[in-house]
Structure 1
């Protein structure tokens, strides 16, 4: 049972097999209990609602640590409710974490995404060609390893951004721009 009483937290119903709570969770519980006392005195409705929501969140975290539901006593109304742990993101077979979003993702916005990707492709192509041309004028063929380092340095960031809904479009555009810059630079080197 999780209850804020007199500015401190009472955790009843402890079993011998229950693991100890992490220090940061204990600190958050103490802070919540102190705030619950202050909010109870002030009587402000928004503060009371904040205490209720935060208490449920903390009860859910305690339930997650203990591995079973926890009885939560609302310090404002005295209502007792059973709180379960929120599911944690579970790694998928490919190693990435599964989203906890309730709604499935919508359709891919190709109509707005492709122009964004095209803009970034042109921007990165022009920037990379200009930078490599200036480097080639100053240092000769050292532009090749320098450009390889730029591409290899950006690759991890572009890969990580490709999984984020909006940022996938600039990442795809930047990757295409780097490839197009290499094609332009190699063609200019040959001719």
Structure 2
């Protein structure tokens, strides 16, 4: 994407857009020389975003040249702009995450069983609907947390702990 590629009748680009393209060009040059694959992908996405903005201002498609591969692609007016991730995803910390999940599963299981048994001593089988309400009340929050990088692990552990507590409580009714 070059700012000098203008045609007669093109609208003037806003100053902030010109500055953003110049800044991106300098970064793209550095990244093409010494950047890793993640950095190159981010620079490419940002370049496509800027190309989309330039196409919108000019009212016509513009050509975008990927700085790392040299591939040329046409970016049309009003085309979907790729979203730029706040932080590129890193490797999944399975050992740490599963340890956190196990901790939460144990704590939630013990707490739920203890509270349900205390509730059962005081109110009989009313612990069943009370425990259902706890599980149903937590489920939307646990479902939403499943994609949040750190909080997915406590959410998984909590869900497993609630299921384990139900198993323990139902087995306690049989015994």
TM-score by length of 1: 0.51
Listed as ranges, the gaps of 5+ residues in structure 1 are 1-67, 74-79, 88-97
The one-character-per-residue Cα deviations of 1:85-108 (angstroms, maximum 9, x if unpaired) are: 778xxxxxxxxxx96317641221
Structure 1 residues 161 and 102: CA distance shift in structure 2, 3 A: closer
SS at match of 1:163: coil
Who is 1:81 aligned against?
Answer: 18
99 and 136 in structure 1: CA distance in 2 versus 1, 3 angstrom threshold: farther
C-alpha distance in 2 between matches for 1:148 and 1:102: 38
Structure 2 distance, partners of 1:184, 1:135, is 15
Higher relative contact order (CA 8 A, sep 6+): 2
1:152 and 2:136 are equivalent in the alignment = yes
SS in structure 2 at match of 1:164: coil
**Aligned with 1:124 (options 108, 117, 126):** 108
Structure with the larger helix share: 2
Q: Which residue of 2 aligns with 1:71?
A: 14
Could you tell me which runs of 5 or more consecutive residues in structure 2 were left unpaired when the two chains were aligned: 1-10, 22-48, 53-81
SS in 2 for 1:81: helix
In the superposition, relative to structure 1, how do residues 182 and 70 fare at CA in structure 2: closer, same or farther (>3 Å)? farther
Cα deviations by residue, 1:58-115 (Å, 9 ceiling, x for unpaired)? xxxxxxxxxx995126xxxxxx83658778xxxxxxxxxx963176412211011010
Give the TM-score, by structure 2 length. 0.55
Matched, 1:177 2:164: no
Structure 2 vs 1, CA of residues 99 and 157 (structure 1 numbering), >3 Å: closer, same or farther?
farther
What SS does structure 2 have at the residue aligned with 1:149? helix
In the alignment of these two chains, the number of paired residues is: 108
SS in structure 2 of the partner of residue 166 of structure 1: coil
| Aligned residue in 2 for 1:107 | 91
- The 3-state SS of whatever aligns with 2:85 is coil
RMSD over aligned Cα atoms: 2.7
The residue that corresponds to 2:146 in the other structure is 162
